[in-house]
Structure 1
Amino acid sequence: MTVPPEPDAPAKSLMASLGPGLITGAADDDPSGIGTYSQVGAQFGHTLTWTMLFSYPLMAAIQEICARIGATTGRGIADNVRRHYPRWLLPGVICLLVVANVINLGADLGAMAAALHLLLPGPLPLYTLGFAVISVLAEVFVPYARYAGWLKWTTLSLFAYIAVLIVTPMDWGDALYHVVVPTVQLDHAFLSGLVALLGTTISPYLFFWQAGQEVEELRRRQARPLHDAPRRAKPELRRIRADTLLGMGFSNVTALAIIVATAATLNAHGITDITSADQAAMALRPFAGDLAFALFALGIIGTGLLAVPVLAGSAAYALSEALRWNEGLDRAPREARAFYVAIALATFAGLGINMVGINPMRALYWTAVINGLLAPPLMVVTMLIARNPRAMGHLVISRPLAAVGWLATVAMTVVAVLFLFA
């Protein structure tokens, strides 16, 4: 039977058209990111703020490429690797992602519990367990359409850090100068901070999540992949670009706010090392006031509630695509048991990390470094898929977009190599 061509998608309001890109960008500012930005601001002051301006086009390009892969092929990144590349490549890709995600999950859950402990003293292990259970139950039992709406509204928690910046007194001239004038040092501490910043900004789990969410959106609308529905391609690709640019911009502005606020308070008063979530928030209190302290702590909890499902979900997407399991948050638990079990196992493996006495804030920082080292090989795989006509058909990414994507890959690789050998 011939399938009739799909009509052009109707025009949507801006808010209605936002989704995977906005959620992905907000999830990038997870407790791991907040911890990293706080440590960098405390240790280096405003010196590294230029990285947020530098990384924005690179981050936006690689995330748009991931979204286009999902929307064009109707499959996630791992599924495309399985179909189009040698069998030996996929296990390495999955292992890199799952290891990074589990470490990140553990760090995020520990930081969320520590932040709640600031506001409501109580047993940290119980708080950590509670956040893990809430995240798993929400992903498993809340219908996808409602769950995606919740995630979209959860992004508002990032405004807490914009508010922290507003209420924090600072030298705006010095802050703005370092945003536009790069400062580079080749010592190991500086390169460690640079890798951590880029690793938490351009993170592997975001690649798989945004591609997977575009596939979910196709299923939800009962729409065909773009390479089978050319009339929809142009408006959908415009929607993906707008969604991604806004989401990544929101992410980087929030990150910049955290670095600048901690530089103006902690670094300016000689506090250059953050060893716990409690210290990060408490140290702000004397210099920025009780409001900044409370907003900082609440922001960690809010962004964690957004990021933990994203981390667990991206690992489950990759595993399910690799092993040919039914997958997707739009499926009932009985239809995708292995997918939901993978979500639960990833989350509770992260929970287990907190039981071995690892300091949450220190783990947050080094998780970002690990992500920075793991990102380059995963970015190479993503770029190969996006330019492969067997996967993308006539909708392979354009040369200009590919150039920016490869620039992002090279930049991440160079920084990682300098960190390892400097």
Structure 2
Amino acid sequence: MHHKKSFSQKLVRFWKKLGPGLVTGASDDDPSGIATYSQAGAAYGLSTLWTSIVAFPLMAIIQQMCARIGIVTSQGLTGTLKKHYPKPVLYLMLLFSFPAIVLNIGADIAGMGAVGNLLFPAVDATYFSVFFTLLLLGLIIYLPYQRIAAVLKYMCIVMLVYFVVPFLCKQDVGEILKATFIPEIRFDKDFIAILVGILGTTISPYLFFWQASVEVEEMKHKKKHLIVDKKLVHAINKDVDTGMTFSGFVMYFIILTTGSVLFKEGIHQIDTVEQAASALKPLAGNLAYLLFSIGVIGTGLIAIPVLSGSISYIITETFGWEEGLDKKFHEAKAFYVIIALSLLLGLSLNYVGISPIKALIYTAILYGVTAPVLIAIILHISNNKEIMGENVNTRTENMLGFVALAIMAASAGILLYLQFAS
């Protein structure tokens, strides 16, 4: 019977094969994302559960394109843009991406600090924020890429806590199934705003840059030069799909938790992750509260290196500086200095009076505006034979890509209208 692999061996093999896709997926559910999903659940119950199913193919297809651009061109998205597209396109991306990502980092650091303070009330939230910032900075600079990748991968296990939380209280399965598979859309301003917010936080531009750049890093670490063939593309697509499935489930279970616990108890206004965690405590018990809080800190520790890494890849590739998490600090000073600056700028937002809630709203608007433009560019690159050779998009990939583009463009229009019409 020795030829029959045991389940645990298969699981270990599967785990070893997982690469950047898993980390990208997990970082998509960062503390600010969790705040958005919690707002949706608290305000509208289970009405937005279906969005996780709709968002999945759109997220996955765009990330697959980004990963393929990385492995085919051996450079990140910014490098490809710089080489094949007009300079203004590149600088516009930089102009929008930088503030959006810094605001996102700020909101995440504040969220982690606030949740740290909930778990240990004797310690002020700002001390936790500073502690997490310095911890991350130390790890990113000190650890080589392979170790960072491994640490982030294991951190993803923390996210499994969200799969437990909803089952700590009684659920109506029929109601859940209905909300999952029958979309409900209400044509009121707040509901549409929440839908747009959910899309904006799941299909985030920083993930596009990160995915392409980090695939290049992965390629460097495979000792022999890999041939980009169907088999490699298939393996990378599988990795991306796994990460995005994971991300979609986490999003689903957070909406389920807040929608079935907070909404039912009449708590409809949640602005921050710590509010969501505190509200769960009396209703779903200490364990739910504890797991939810640990999840927030875990996701922050995964997402912030991804956010700061993507901003650094964007800037260093734009100016042609040495880059890469596999390099030591003295080999790529600019790369690490940008990471440090983005973390410190994010941390400082809490002191200059930009509240995490405001930071979230601004981030959503900036992401919302840049996402459609970026998706259009990614589609263009992915269909460009000069750049991609044989690895251009298939018809199905283009179809899904254009659906993602249309939905994100419509969301951006609605978002801007809601923001400036009110």
TM-score, length basis structure 1:
0.93
The whole-number CA distance in structure 1 between the counterparts of 2:186 and 2:256 is 19
Find the residue that maps to 2:220 and give its secondary structure: helix
Greater displacement, 303-312 / 375-384: 375-384
Aligned position for 1:258: 254
Find the residue that maps to 2:297 and give its secondary structure: helix
Q: What are the Cα deviations for residues 186-207 of structure 1, in whole angstroms up to 9, with x where unaligned? A: 2221111011100111111111
Is the 8 Å Cα contact of residues 40 and 193 (structure 1) preserved in structure 2?
A: yes
Is the 8 Å Cα contact of residues 100 and 362 (structure 2) preserved in structure 1?
A: no
The whole-number CA distance in structure 1 between the counterparts of 2:207 and 2:362 is 18
Greater displacement, 273-282 / 79-88: 273-282
Is the 8 Å Cα contact of residues 101 and 363 (structure 2) preserved in structure 1?
A: no
Find the residue that maps to 1:140 and give its secondary structure: helix
Q: What are the Cα deviations for residues 239-276 of structure 1, in whole angstroms up to 9, with x where unaligned? A: 11111111100100110000011011111111111134
Aligned position for 2:7: none
Aligned position for 1:7: none
How many residues are matched?
Answer: 406
Shift of 1:363: 3.7
The whole-number CA distance in structure 1 between the counterparts of 2:239 and 2:138 is 28
The answer to whether structure 1 residue 197 and structure 2 residue 193 are counterparts is no
Aligned position for 2:389: 393
Aligned position for 1:5: none
The whole-number CA distance in structure 2 between the counterparts of 1:341 and 1:35 is 29
Aligned position for 2:109: 109
Find the residue that maps to 2:408 and give its secondary structure: helix
Cα distance change, pair 15–78 in 1 and its aligned pair in 2 (3 A): same
Find the residue that maps to 2:268 and give its secondary structure: coil
Within the candidate set 381, 389, 401, 2:377 is matched to 381
Is the 8 Å Cα contact of residues 56 and 249 (structure 1) preserved in structure 2?
A: yes
Is the 8 Å Cα contact of residues 199 and 373 (structure 1) preserved in structure 2?
A: no
Is the 8 Å Cα contact of residues 168 and 261 (structure 1) preserved in structure 2?
A: no
Find the residue that maps to 1:193 and give its secondary structure: helix
Q: What are the Cα deviations for residues 55-74 of structure 1, in whole angstroms up to 9, with x where unaligned? A: 11111100111111101110
Greater displacement, 110-119 / 277-286: 277-286
The whole-number CA distance in structure 2 between the counterparts of 1:236 and 1:99 is 35
Within the candidate set 384, 399, 408, 2:404 is matched to 408
Q: What are the Cα deviations for residues 93-114 of structure 1, in whole angstroms up to 9, with x where unaligned? A: 1222211110100000000000
Is the 8 Å Cα contact of residues 35 and 271 (structure 2) preserved in structure 1?
A: no
What amino acid is aligned across from residue 259 of structure 1 in structure 2?
I
The whole-number CA distance in structure 2 between the counterparts of 1:242 and 1:158 is 20
Within the candidate set 210, 220, 240, 2:236 is matched to 240
What amino acid is aligned across from residue 210 of structure 1 in structure 2?
Q
User: Post-superposition, which runs of at least 4 consecutive aligned residues in structure 1 deviate over 6 A?
Assistant: none
What amino acid is aligned across from residue 61 of structure 1 in structure 2?
I
1:289-304, aligned counterparts within 5 Å?
289-304=285-300
Cα distance change, pair 218–398 in 1 and its aligned pair in 2 (3 A): same
What amino acid is aligned across from residue 414 of structure 2 in structure 1?
L
Aligned position for 1:69: 69
Is the 8 Å Cα contact of residues 32 and 273 (structure 2) preserved in structure 1?
A: no
The whole-number CA distance in structure 2 between the counterparts of 1:368 and 1:254 is 19
Cα distance change, pair 363–172 in 1 and its aligned pair in 2 (3 A): farther
The answer to whether structure 1 residue 78 and structure 2 residue 92 are counterparts is no
Q: What are the Cα deviations for residues 310-348 of structure 1, in whole angstroms up to 9, with x where unaligned? A: 000000011111110111001111111111111111111
Greater displacement, 377-386 / 353-362: 353-362
What amino acid is aligned across from residue 302 of structure 1 in structure 2?
G
Is the 8 Å Cα contact of residues 320 and 338 (structure 1) preserved in structure 2?
A: yes
Is the 8 Å Cα contact of residues 32 and 365 (structure 1) preserved in structure 2?
A: no
What amino acid is aligned across from residue 106 of structure 1 in structure 2?
G
Within the candidate set 326, 330, 334, 2:326 is matched to 330
Is the 8 Å Cα contact of residues 117 and 124 (structure 1) preserved in structure 2?
A: yes
The whole-number CA distance in structure 2 between the counterparts of 1:391 and 1:349 is 36
Q: What are the Cα deviations for residues 25-60 of structure 1, in whole angstroms up to 9, with x where unaligned? A: 000011011111001100111111111111111111
- Aligned-residue identity in percent: 41
TM-score, length basis structure 2:
0.93
Greater displacement, 104-113 / 272-281: 272-281
What amino acid is aligned across from residue 145 of structure 2 in structure 1?
Y
Is the 8 Å Cα contact of residues 31 and 273 (structure 2) preserved in structure 1?
A: no
Aligned position for 2:36: 36
The answer to whether structure 1 residue 283 and structure 2 residue 279 are counterparts is yes
Is the 8 Å Cα contact of residues 66 and 212 (structure 2) preserved in structure 1?
A: yes
Shift of 1:145: 1.0
Shift of 1:356: 2.4
What amino acid is aligned across from residue 157 of structure 2 in structure 1?
L
Aligned position for 2:13: 13
Shift of 1:169: 2.2
The answer to whether structure 1 residue 348 and structure 2 residue 365 are counterparts is no
The whole-number CA distance in structure 1 between the counterparts of 2:36 and 2:380 is 30
The whole-number CA distance in structure 1 between the counterparts of 2:118 and 2:384 is 50
Aligned position for 1:179: 180
Is the 8 Å Cα contact of residues 158 and 254 (structure 1) preserved in structure 2?
A: yes
Q: What are the Cα deviations for residues 137-167 of structure 1, in whole angstroms up to 9, with x where unaligned? A: 1111101111110010010111111111221
Q: What are the Cα deviations for residues 104-128 of structure 1, in whole angstroms up to 9, with x where unaligned? A: 0000000000011111121222211
The whole-number CA distance in structure 2 between the counterparts of 1:324 and 1:193 is 39
Find the residue that maps to 1:271 and give its secondary structure: coil
The whole-number CA distance in structure 2 between the counterparts of 1:372 and 1:164 is 30
Unaligned 5+ segments in structure 1 are 1-11
Aligned position for 2:4: none
The whole-number CA distance in structure 1 between the counterparts of 2:360 and 2:254 is 15
Find the residue that maps to 2:267 and give its secondary structure: coil
What amino acid is aligned across from residue 85 of structure 1 in structure 2?
Y
What amino acid is aligned across from residue 111 of structure 1 in structure 2?
G
Cα distance change, pair 414–308 in 1 and its aligned pair in 2 (3 A): same
Q: What are the Cα deviations for residues 256-306 of structure 1, in whole angstroms up to 9, with x where unaligned? A: 000011011111111111134332111111221100000011100011000
Q: What are the Cα deviations for residues 342-386 of structure 1, in whole angstroms up to 9, with x where unaligned? A: 111111111111112343356446534542333111111111111
Is the 8 Å Cα contact of residues 84 and 390 (structure 1) preserved in structure 2?
A: no
Find the residue that maps to 2:351 and give its secondary structure: helix
Is the 8 Å Cα contact of residues 162 and 250 (structure 2) preserved in structure 1?
A: yes
Within the candidate set 271, 279, 295, 2:267 is matched to 271
